[in-house]
Amino acid sequence: MEGGNLWKKEMVLKFVLLGVAFMNTVHGHGTRVGFYSRTCPGAESIVTSTVESHVRSDPTLAAGILRMHFHDCFVRGCDASVLIAGSDTERTAPPNVNLRGYEVIDDAKEKLEALCPGLVSCADILTLAARDSVVLSGGKSWKVPTGRKDGRVSIGSETLSLPGPNDNVTVQKKKFNDKGLNTIDLVVLAGGHTIGTTACQFFADRIYNPNGTTDPSIDPSFVPFLREICPQNQPRKRVALDTNSQFKFDTSYLANLKRGRGILRSDQVLWTDPSTSSFVQKYIATAPFNYQFGKSMVKMSNIGVKQGDEGEIRNKCSAVN
């Protein structure tokens, strides 16, 4: 009798443990909310206050950090590989030359190394900082699962998996699908373009067509405005991806697509392609957008997460140990 009960208890315990392990694998690839709550309770608030102080002195950094997290996750997973300096690394590759905010991540890392040395990964810092950047810009918060290890490899040519400004919807969907992200994730995460800017070079051909005409998907009354900010032969000048709302995390970027006021070709096609336009329409509503953005961000932030021996806790975010 006694032995039987003990056995039963053991089985129940095993079941519970198995269930927990299963949930972790399915929902978070091993990452979980509050990973540092016992080992380094100040981790999340230090990241938040660091991002806050930098964004207060330079508001354009919020967009830089959000984009940096996306570019990290799409290449070798969210493992801070984008932060590693050196020749032929991701950081020096063409899609990343305009990335901004490295100093914010370095600053948070330095503070965390002083507080709890060797415990908090750069990959987690970048993931938390991306969420904080959205919140500081007026977006809704979400809980960030943590527990990523940092990668040891960064290869410039691998940035080819990132979407480009001229990619059509088929290609954009394929690149997101390759990372386990669906069409809703694509449209809603592209909504990250509600903050930040692009260099004129990435869409100049839409407003300075060699034949004198413009891309027919642009609102013609919008073209003079864009030509004024982006004079010909000034490829490095920058223009807001969400006109008149560059610092506000809202849905006017999506609403602008409907009016032919997408800046990049890759933005505008989300409205002209019937397979994505219904989602553009649906997520113009603020509450669904905010909710889905957090959900899709968590999904993106779990791409290719490294754990255990697959990675390390870097001492400095810009170099492997």
Ligand X SMILES: *[C@@H]1O[C@H](CO)[C@@H](O)[C@H](O)[C@H]1NC(C)=O
Binding site for ligand X (CB under 6 A): 168, 170-171, 209-211
Q: Tell me the closest approach of the beta carbon of residue 212 to ligand X, in angstroms.
A: 9
Under the binding rule (CB under 6 A), the answer on residue 163 touching ligand HEM is: yes
Mark the segment that binds ligand HEM (CB under 6 A) among 80-88, 151-159, 193-201, 273-281.
Answer: 193-201
Q: What are phi and psi of 312, to 5 degrees?
A: -145, 170
Q: How many residues bind ligand HEM (CB under 6 A)?
A: 26
Under the binding rule (CB under 6 A), the answer on residue 144 touching ligand HEM is: no
Q: In the annotation, is 71 catalytic?
A: yes
Contacted by 3, from ligand X, ligand HEM, none: CB < 5 to 8 Å by type: none
**Cβ within 8 Å of residue 148, ≥6 positions away:** 31, 78, 79, 80, 121, 123, 124, 127, 305, 306, 307, 311
Under the binding rule (CB under 6 A), the answer on residue 98 touching ligand HEM is: yes
Q: Tell me the closest approach of the beta carbon of residue 188 to ligand HEM, in angstroms.
A: 9
Under the binding rule (CB under 6 A), the answer on residue 59 touching ligand HEM is: no
**Cβ within 8 Å of residue 190, ≥6 positions away:** 172, 266, 267, 270
Under the binding rule (CB under 6 A), the answer on residue 195 touching ligand HEM is: yes
User: Smallest Cα–Cα separation from 280: which of 264, 298, 258?
Assistant: 258
Mark the segment that binds ligand HEM (CB under 6 A) among 28-36, 81-89, 137-145, 195-203.
Answer: 195-203
Under the binding rule (CB under 6 A), the answer on residue 223 touching ligand HEM is: no
**Cβ within 8 Å of residue 181, ≥6 positions away:** 189, 296, 299, 300, 303
Among 75, 144, 189, 204, binds ligand HEM (CB under 6 A): 189
Alpha helices by DSSP H, the chain: 2-28, 43-57, 61-73, 102-115, 122-136, 169-177, 183-190, 204-207, 223-229, 252-258, 265-272, 274-282, 286-300
How, if at all, do strands 197-199 and 32-33 pair?
Answer: unpaired
Q: Is the CB of residue 25 less than 8 Å from the CB of residue 142?
A: no
Q: Tell me the closest approach of the beta carbon of residue 304 to ligand X, in angstroms.
A: 24
Q: What residues are annotated to the active site? A: 71
Give the interface with ligand HEM as residue ranges (CB under 6 A). 60, 63-64, 66-67, 70, 98, 100, 163-165, 167, 172, 186, 189-190, 192-193, 195-199, 202, 264, 266
